[in-house]
Structure 1
């Protein structure tokens, strides 16, 4: 008998399949990347909400500090001009209908034909309707936020 035939041969032995835990290092990197993206998105959204609240508080405080409706109209006009300057330099210099057209959203004529017309002369009147100022405040607050956020006209 030869030495080669004397050795008993066994079938191929496969190693046991890998366990599902702990995952391979590549899966840890994928998990870390996903968590980083989720944390980044959450932080970005929280930053945007804080910034939005700050802008709205600035608007509300400035209007609330005004003594009478005419002063409130003046404060609203000043805030809108400042916001317009941040959105488009030179827009704060517009006057009359051009200014109201700039403030209008596409498809809207709320400033040019509605309560927004109070911005043109409301700060110079002796008597200003408080309800009209309140409607203007709601309209201007929305537009102020849109201008500060840099959303397209």
Structure 2
């Protein structure tokens, strides 16, 4: 298959070229079973992660509601005490929380959170708050917010 190229211009020679054959399209489907197994494992992990996130979010919904109520409490010590009591009743068994008052109540709040101390300063207002309608110390609202965020919930199976 000899083609005469004598005396032809470069443009004519380029026109004589045949186009390269078009390759077959590459399949996007994995070729081996290992990739399918990996895809199934990944899908399972994603589903498990979403389930765990939603369960955690539902499990802590009472905390979000308590924080919203605390923000709307107008720094009223009685309201702060009520919000803390209701939050504790959700997180712990009623028999363990309902009868607590005074120093026992503040000790319970201290024991259920690692980084909050209610026995000093602003925390003492909680003992008298249900019986007086006074403005709370601003630190009491901060203590309550920290307790709501960080208290250790009792595990129930």
User: So what's the TM-score if we normalise by structure 2?
Assistant: 0.60
CA drift of 1:43 comes to: 4.5
**CA offsets, 1:16-62, max 9 Å, x none?**
xxxxx723224312222222212421453255357657633443235
Which structure: greater helix fraction? 1
1:102 counterpart residue number: 108
Is the 1:82–1:92 contact (alpha carbons within 8 Å) kept by the matching residues of 2? no
Mapping of 1:1-153 within 5 angstroms? 22-45=30-53, 48-49=56-57, 52=60, 55-61=63-69, 64=72, 66=73, 69=75, 72-89=76-93, 90=95, 91-105=97-111, 110-125=117-132, 127-128=134-135, 132=137, 134-147=138-151, 150=153
- Count of aligned pairs between the two proteins: 124
Structure 2 distance, partners of 1:103, 1:82, is 13
Is the 2:66–2:83 contact (alpha carbons within 8 Å) kept by the matching residues of 1? no
Structure 2 distance, partners of 1:145, 1:92, is 21
Is the 2:77–2:129 contact (alpha carbons within 8 Å) kept by the matching residues of 1? yes
Larger Cα Rg: Structure 1 or Structure 2?
Answer: 2
Structure 1 distance, partners of 2:61, 2:92, is 22
Structure 1 distance, partners of 2:133, 2:87, is 27
Alpha-carbon RMSD: 3.2
Gaps of 5+ in 2: 1-28
Evaluate the alpha carbon distance shift between residue 127 and residue 95 of structure 1 in structure 2; reply closer, same or farther with a 3 A threshold. closer
4+ residue stretches of structure 1 with deviation over 6 A?
none
Structure 2 distance, partners of 1:114, 1:43, is 42
User: So what's the TM-score if we normalise by structure 1?
Assistant: 0.61
Gaps of 5+ in 1: 1-20
